A and B are shown apart, each in its own frame.
Chain A
């Protein structure tokens, strides 16, 4: 009996062991067979890990969607700045003479990328536009030549396999077989080949409409008050002159919206400030209506955050180039802020999409705002992990105008990986536990739309940044400083914020809620009172110092340091720097007049934050220290703000 039992168990185990062994064999053979057959030809370092996985799962004849990163264009930042400055001077001189600028409008349009009347652009905007125009010209030509080279050198690849070619970045989307991927990975004009994870945000189901005050929904009056947006709007700010892009699951194609939904954006459209991407599809636009309405609804007694802004609407879904193409269209139209309420798989991955976002943010002076996602501890999706983006999570407003009772919304995604080099995400939070969308009640528009999730938190922050840029247009060209002001400009909000401990080196950024609940009033205090500084720490420069004064009325002080991941690559571009999350490391220290020291020395990411209740008045000293920077990119662009 004992023997029989033993035999039966053994037989079962043996079967399982054989099964496991065979499974391992299958996986091992399938792993080795297709990809490593040409190990002498491929360059593993040029094929991303996720693409290798896809190749292992594909047969030899199938094509795989890939993003090909080329070596970046050869250019001199000084040269481009000089050319842009020349454009600026030309326009400024013409502005002196109104008839002359009218006559030269066509010439200016050639110099700028947005197609706007240059007479209405400020100096920063002209510089950005001119730089984008120059860089777009260089990229378009260089990418076209590189595609031609690839086609010439790889006879099995034909033009139909090229899906889209970037005009603002060194990438192209292609459909390639495994053999073709291996072939081009050996080409020295190719820096990296990545799996083209579908970045096109899928559309959302129809939203509901409700006016019922008895639900858990936070009314638009309440959430605009608790974020102090109401206060800043009362001062007359409405985002005028700022171009905001919306990359969503659908586009706001005004003429094709139903009558009620058109009312939400009627004034915006009639004034020519709602522009839809002609190459994007409409799909289901309700998600875009929510996100766009939060930013710039012009209807009702409580309109959107920045109803004076111009809203450009696009969608990556089914569009040529997907989200890459959609976002480049927004850049080509002159957008300074791009709001993206879509997420990828919650992988905590810094992948090709994040790398690309970092690249365009620093190169084209655009502030990209991402939703963190609704995956809670399952993590953050690719894209929202980018260092240079502002990633927004959700708080639960609890339908009160008080900030101190707000709590973390339990669905809100946060970085839950173990890397000590990747940034803490989200950067901050905004109300998202179901809110009313502005412009959708009163005045007989529609009966009201409500929505929840980080999708709605994202455009709230994008709208606040639009107010910031209206106050300080020069900030449009400074993404590091934009983030520093946004994160420093936050008053205490209960469990959403954290205080620094004297003597400790821990950052005041919180894992789930970042710097805390967005605060338009505190942001305005920092921005309007010039409580900020920015600069470049070049090779050999290791410290930067600044002082500020704390008076008896200051009961809370925050200092934020943000810097950019330097994905602006010039030169031969052989270091593969953008492929890896290598980023400079800066430390932040504040010393009180009595010698008390506060520090934030997180070794990863690109934000340091200190928050404390000052016990002494007088002059405080801020010290920024450069701990390290990638050797290929020694210049670190930083922004520093204090509240």
Chain B
């Protein structure tokens, strides 16, 4: 009898808890679930939208001045032209890796006519992390790229090597051209 009452209390509490959660902010951070694929909810006014992208490549690279010195940081930039791509020094950055590469030869003037590239630099305090971009949102002239950083198998331990990743995303120029700022958010379990 006592057990039934207890279960009832738990059930009612959970229902009310869920109801209560619905009253919170209309915008929310993306899930911490590494397998999350849900895009962040954003305001639908002012042409705000979720930006569609193709992940070109996520590779681990050697540290350069583009990366932070702290245990975790990220930055990004939007490339609208071949010139900006060359200025980013992507070829030099990725050429250090003999096992992986990003073929930038396709990013010609024709490509940039309708497309743009989002270049993300991610610094993490362990090479054990697996890095995955999962959403880009445009809101009020600001672009936000969301990245999941997860440890395999849900492990809580990791190697203590500093790690730097370069991520390149292809997007439609029309979706990002009005952006005046880009922020990068990392979800760590």
Contacts and interface: CB of A to CB of B under 8 A. Distances in A.
A198 B62 CA distance: 29
Given A25-B10, A452-B161, 7 more contacts: A204-B163, A215-B64, A374-B125, A376-B125, A452-B162, A453-B160, A453-B162
Given A215-B63, A434-B63, A200 B20 contact: no
Interface of B: 6, 9-10, 12-14, 16-17, 19-21, 23, 60-65, 69-71, 96-100, 125-128, 151-153, 155-163
Contacts of B99: 206
Contacts of B21: 19
Contacts of A433: 69, 162
A73 B162 CA distance: 41
Contact of A209 (B19, B98, B155): B98
Q: Chain B at the A interface: mostly helix, strand, loop or mixed?
A: loop
A367 B184 CA distance: 42
Interface in A438-454: 447, 450-454
B146 to A, nearest CB: 20
A144 interface: no
Given A210-B96, A453-B162, A205 B127 contact: yes
B127 A204 contact: yes
A376 B71 contact: yes
Contact of B126 (A209, A216, A343): A343
B62 A210 contact: yes
Interface of A: 12, 15-16, 18-20, 22-23, 25-26, 29-30, 33, 197-210, 212, 215-217, 248-249, 287, 290, 341-345, 371-376, 378, 381, 396, 409-411, 413, 432-434, 447, 450-456, 458
Contacts of B98: 209, 447
Given A287-B159, A343-B158, A22 B13 contact: yes
B71 A202 contact: no
Nearest to A316: B157
A237 to B, nearest CB: 27
Contacts of B125: 373-376, 411, 453
A208 B61 contact: yes
A22 B159 contact: no
Contacts of A290: 161
A433 B60 CA distance: 17
A216 B20 contact: no
A344 B70 contact: no
A373 B96 contact: no
B96 A19 contact: no
Contact of B12 (A22, A200, A456): A22
Nearest to A202: B128
Nearest to A26: B13
A455 B161 contact: yes
B49 to A, nearest CB: 30
Given A29-B9, A433-B69, A197 B156 contact: yes
A15 B22 CA distance: 10
A342 B158 contact: yes
Lowest 9 CB-CB distances: which A-B pairs, in order? A19-B20, A374-B125, A204-B127, A22-B13, A453-B162, A371-B160, A455-B161, A411-B71, A455-B160
Given A25-B13, A198-B155, A450-B62, A20 B20 contact: yes
Contacts of B69: 396, 409-411, 433
Given A22-B17, A216-B65, A381-B157, A204 B126 contact: yes
Nearest to B124: A374
A22 B162 contact: no
A378 B72 CA distance: 11
A17 to B, nearest CB: 9
B9 to A, nearest CB: 6
A374 to B, nearest CB: 3
Contacts of B155: 198, 200, 202
Contacts of A205: 60, 127-128, 163
B71 A12 contact: no
B159 A342 contact: yes
18 contacts: A12-B23, A15-B23, A19-B17, A199-B157, A204-B159, A204-B163, A205-B127, A215-B63, A248-B159, A341-B161, A343-B157, A371-B160, A374-B162, A375-B125, A376-B125, A409-B69, A434-B162, A454-B160
A212 B19 CA distance: 58
A217 B63 contact: yes
A578 B44 CA distance: 58
B22 to A, nearest CB: 9
B188 to A, nearest CB: 10
Nearest to B151: A202
B152 A208 contact: no
B10 A26 contact: yes
A23 B160 contact: no
Contacts of A343: 126, 157-160
A15 B16 CA distance: 8
Nearest to A396: B69
- For B10, B155, B157, the residue with the greatest tally of chain A CB atoms inside 10 Å of its CB is B157
